[in-house]
Amino acid sequence: MAKAVRSFSDVKDVILSCHKDATPEDKMGFYDKWADNYEQDVAILDYRAPGLAADALAAGFQGDRENAVVLDVACGTGLVASRLQTLGFRRFVGVDGSEAMLRQARDRGLYQELLQCMLGSEELPVPVETYNAVLIVGALSVGQVPLTVIKDLWKATKPGGYVCMTTRGNTSNKGFKDQLECLLKKMETEGLWTAVSVTEVQAWERAVSDEEAGYIPGAVYLYRKTAL
Ligand SMILES: C[S@@+](CC[C@H](N)C(=O)[O-])C[C@H]1O[C@@H](n2cnc3c(N)ncnc32)[C@H](O)[C@@H]1O
């Protein structure tokens, strides 16, 4: 059951308890325990990624939003679908590794389908070239979802469809962000997709580590898969 009133100090303790070198299974245990308090805590953290990603997709998306099928990878409790719904999108499929997060997403009532998958060690359990838009928000970072998943996101997307990704830009994630950007550009050079927008955001979310103060930065990447 969620605690009635949470403080920034509670949120810091939770996030810092999740070491970046924990195994993927440990990480899912962490999210299972956090699920009840997740939305309250990320509001305290001023976590803006779901809104920023949904807004970037809506700004770049060309097509019929009501009938677009959206795959929300690492969907958590469903904050991304919730924002996309306010922007006219209606059809959502969610994937996450945490059963407790999926339960929260189910209770939200927005997803037509919710699937459990350990990204990075299991194949993305969705058909290829099916989704008009695929998003992964708040999960591509050091110690979470690995870069090997990017190719699967691309495969799941319809030709002409969109892939929207986010990552943090703080010191501990800098190496991951550089590698992500290298891969995105390499795929563009190979003709697999084209960048629609890259948005660097200074006030991404409040810093929790002792080495950082104020807000940490982050980025939203929107790519369009090459049409056949
Ligand atoms: C910070 S939350 C973001 C959730 C949601 N996208 C949002 O922005 O609110 C990260 C999510 O990624 C999921 N996740 C992290 N690593 C994962 C992995 N390797 N496989 C599947 N899910 C993973 C967690 O269970 C959690 O729900």
Task: Report the pLDDT averaged over residues 100-109.
Answer: 98
The answer to whether the CB of 134 falls within 8 A of the CB of 68 is no
Distance of CA 166 to the CA centre of its chain: 6
Which CATH code fits 8-225?
Answer: 3.40.50.150
Using a 6 Å cutoff on CB, does residue 31 contact ligand 1? yes
The length of the chain in residues reads 228
What's the mean per-residue pLDDT of the chain?
A: 95
Using a 6 Å cutoff on CB, does residue 75 contact ligand 1? yes
Round to whole Å and give the CA distance between 26 and 38. 17
Using a 6 Å cutoff on CB, does residue 18 contact ligand 1? no
- pLDDT of 1: 60
Under the banding of pLDDT at 50, 70 and 90, the label for residue 207 is very high
Q: In the chain, what are the domain boundaries? A: 8-225
pTM: 0.96
pLDDT at 155 over 80: yes
For residue range 23-72, list pLDDT tens digits in order. 888 899 999 999 999 999 999 999 999 999 999 999 999 999 999 999 99
Helix (H) or strand (E) holding 153: helix 149-156
- pLDDT of 21: 61
